Chain A
Amino acid sequence: MNAQPVSPLDAPPGAKPRTQPRKSRRGFLTALVALPVAAGAAGFGRAVAGAHEANSKFPGDQAAWRERFLAEARATERVATAEADVAVRQRAQGAVPAGALPRPSAASPAAVPVENELVRMQEDLQRAMQKPLEQREWVMGIDLRKCIGCSACTIACKSENHLPPGVVYRPVMDLEVGEYPNVSRQFIPRPCMQCDNPPCVPVCPVGATYKRPDGIVEIDYNKCIGCRYCIPACPYSARTFDFGENYTDDTPARQPYEEEPSPEYGKSWERDESSSPVGNVRKCQFCLHRLNVGMLPACVTTCIGGATYFGDRADPDSLISELIHRPNVIRLKEELGTKPKVYYFL
């Protein structure tokens, strides 16, 4: 196993995850109000307390909205933001005086008992791994509002899977939208969609690519003949061909980082000029080798904006299940009937 932990979250299998105790909704709300005051953050405390008081003046639907909103925020590490949003909405309706908005302080992040999304996703992952293979449904979510187009996921993926030149599993598309001066940029990471109805699978003349019971589309490098028919068949251009090139070609010496075998599919793939995976088609496999040891895919743990989510769709308690059932979700080219397993949050 060549997977190297790339973040403190990449705990080895069996290690106790560093997670904070989960609280009930009521306990959480109590803490939400109590802790900032106890921490001495006066402005922040006043605002939250004000919001709390104001809440009692609201009709039932408003109170329910607030509770639901904050509960959601609890799951997504956005408590401070959520509090601000609550206050803004209440102020707009005259419930909170202007100037009473919460101000983030140095003390507040540490004071609020937020749950780390990565920790939760890793818990979800480890729970899923306890189930039989065929009962897992790995899916990925990408929050486009949080993606800043840094391409750290692309690089992490290249590094994790030891990918050569020309082979990229997760490029980030950078779109310029609008016309000057009203221009904005959109970033869309594009991993393999691990489609439930993958067009790349039936076209393979030798059955070298197939769908695993957990939904991941796998390629058997020892069987692939390199005909490249699956590449045009994929509507997402998620497959690339390994031409056998190296970053250190035409340099005096091959560097060690290129000689390390790729850990894909839990095997050790030594690249040389003629043996697989050279001459094969390659693609993202949700870092299957990491999943097998209880680790999240490299792109998930590396994303600095926390924009990439991952988990078991078959687990209703998982974070990913919560997120993909919201209304702000799309999948790419659904009209082709591919049923992609990567969800984009708008």
Chain B
Amino acid sequence: MRIQGNVRLVSPLDRLPVLPAAALIWLAALVIGAIGVFQRLTEGHVPADYGSYIPWGMWVAAYVYLIGLSAGAFLLSALVYVFDVRRLEQIGKLALFTALISLIGALLIIWFDIGHMERFWYVYVYGRPTSMMAWMVWLYTAYFVLILAELWFALRHDLAHWSARSDLQGALARLLTFGFRDVGPEAAAFDRRALRLLGTLGVPLAIAFHGGVGALFASVAARPFWNGAIYPIAFIIGALASGGALLTAVVAFFWPERGTTNHRELVTFLGRMTLGLLVFYLVLEWAEFSIGLYGQVPGEATPYQEIVSGRYWWVFWLVHIVVGAAVPISLLSLRPRSVSFVGVATALIAGAFIAVRLNVVIPGLVTPELEGLETAYIDSRLSFTYFPSLMEWLVVVFVGALMVGLFYAGYRLLPLISSPEETTS
């Protein structure tokens, strides 16, 4: 730790010792994943397993998952900057940075998914206002800009302090302050006002854009499985649960002051909040599944049957229910004040939530829209079965590794974590 004036700053090099084994695994993931990206860029969509009857696959599910993590982490940051929840003040910047990295990962993976990557900007030029997808793109672009601005105001004070350093962090801090290095009380007050304003704008924006992702599916009247009003709401609650879980796990495992009472209190609070959000999400899911299955109307019930007892039943029962819900709820209930238990539980929730997103995207597409379509023309692209191809897995691995790398770099190079003294100074 380093003391400068009345502000105690945490040296980034004191954090996160690079374990050779972890570093090697990360590097291997990045390199192997890059092979998939290379394949995608050179061979297009040919190596993918999705087709024309199941046109969206794991990349779309991963996109929805990551964008949910981003929206959830951002909304938690709003608790600090908009609603003044003092207990969480220390994690405000970390939450914003987590939201930014998740958003970058989400945008990258959906970029790989479109047929003409070079035309992504058409949405800004030719965007059609009746399309939920167009709105989603516009809103998350605004959200991206807003996160960058909010993160800058949140970091500026610390960056100004770090500008005095002679190391790499100091050079980066000098660059990122853009010359605004005033650390006086007036500048700090201005930063706080800016943060409150941006956060206030960000809350409806994050709700709108992630609710919009839900509406993107829910507005497709041709698919009874998606066409329900609960989707936009469930997407937002799911985002809060998964984003909150990710943030809790990060705080539990990567916080520099592990072992202190302050850390345990923080993790306990975050764990309880995540538990509540997860239970709320499960209630919504129960409502959706029980009503969908009850009527046994083929178009509506078949996808739910496919989820609970179809070919990939284990995604729902093992990954989502057991790993992503039952085990974490047990851990969070039995040992709510144990940092390790809460960390493991929330990591499981965050990781397993991909199953929820997969079970939104894929089952909505596995039922033929017309009877007999599945055998009308035999072609591997006109099939109602799907399992991600190696290229799809590799691209996901690459994006995941890139996110971890970016997160680690940010964690080490930026003043993302404030000590209690600092935040109250």
**Chain A residues close to B by CB (< 8 Å):** 154, 165-168, 171-175, 188, 190, 199, 202-208, 223-229, 231-237, 239-245, 273-274, 276, 278-281, 332, 336
A186 to B264: give the CA distance in the assembly, Å. Answer: 68
> CA–CA, A199 to B130, complex, Å?
11
Instruction: Tell me, rounded to whole Å, the shortest Cβ–Cβ distance linking A192 to chain B.
Output: 13
- B52 CB contacts on chain A under 8 angstroms: 166-167, 231, 237, 239-241
Stretch at the interface among B93-101, B113-121, B251-259, B290-298: B113-121
Is the CB–CB distance between A206 and B134 below 8 Å? yes
Give the size category of B's interface with A. Answer: 35 or more
A243 touches B133 (CB 8 A): no
Q: Which 4 A-B pairs have the closest CB atoms?
A: A226-B115, A166-B381, A279-B115, A173-B372
**B residues near A, CB below 8 A?**
44-46, 48, 51-53, 55-56, 113-116, 119-120, 122-123, 126-128, 130-134, 137, 216, 219-223, 226, 364-365, 368-373, 375-377, 379-382
Question: Is the Cβ of A225 less than 8 Å from the Cβ of B123?
Answer: yes
Q: Hey, which chain B residues are within 8 Å of A229, CB to CB?
A: 131, 133, 216
Binding site of A, secondary structure by majority: helix, strand, loop or mixed?
A: loop
B115 touches A199 (CB 8 A): no
Check B116–A224 contact: CB distance below 8 A. Answer: yes
Q: How far is the CA of A232 from the CA of B57 in the complex (A)?
A: 12
Q: Are B364 and A232 in contact (CB under 8 A)?
A: yes
Query: Which residue from B120, B365, B373, B382 sits with its C-beta under 8 Å from A232?
Result: B365
Pair A173/B370 contact, Cβ less than 8 Å:
yes
Query: Which residue on B lies nearest to A188, using beta carbons?
Result: B372
Q: Which of B115, B123, B222, B364 has the most CB of A within 10 A?
A: B115
A228 touching B46 in the complex, CB below 8 Å, given contacts A166-B379, A223-B122, A237-B370: no
Main secondary structure, interface of B, reads loop
**CB atoms of B115 and A280 under 8 A apart:** yes
- Given A225-B116, A229-B131, do A173 and B45 touch, yes or no (CB 8 Å)? no
A204 touches B115 (CB 8 A): no
Closest to A165 in B: B379
> When chains A and B are docked, how far (Å) is the Cα of A278 from the Cα of B126?
20
Q: A279 to B381, Cβ gap below 8 A? A: no
Beyond the given A207-B126, A232-B222, A278-B44, could you list 19 further A-B residue pairs with CB under 8 A, ordered by the A residue number? A166-B51, A167-B52, A168-B377, A174-B376, A175-B372, A190-B373, A205-B128, A226-B116, A227-B114, A228-B55, A232-B365, A235-B369, A241-B52, A241-B55, A241-B115, A279-B44, A279-B45, A279-B115, A279-B116
Q: Which of B122, B216, B222 touches A235 (beta carbons < 8 Å)?
A: B222
Q: A235 — which chain B residues lie within 8 A by C-beta?
A: 221-222, 369
Q: Which residues of B contact A278 (CB under 8 A)?
A: 44, 115
Question: Measured between C-beta atoms, what is the minimum distance from A64 to chain B in Å?
Answer: 40
A244 B114 Cβ-Cβ under 8 A: no
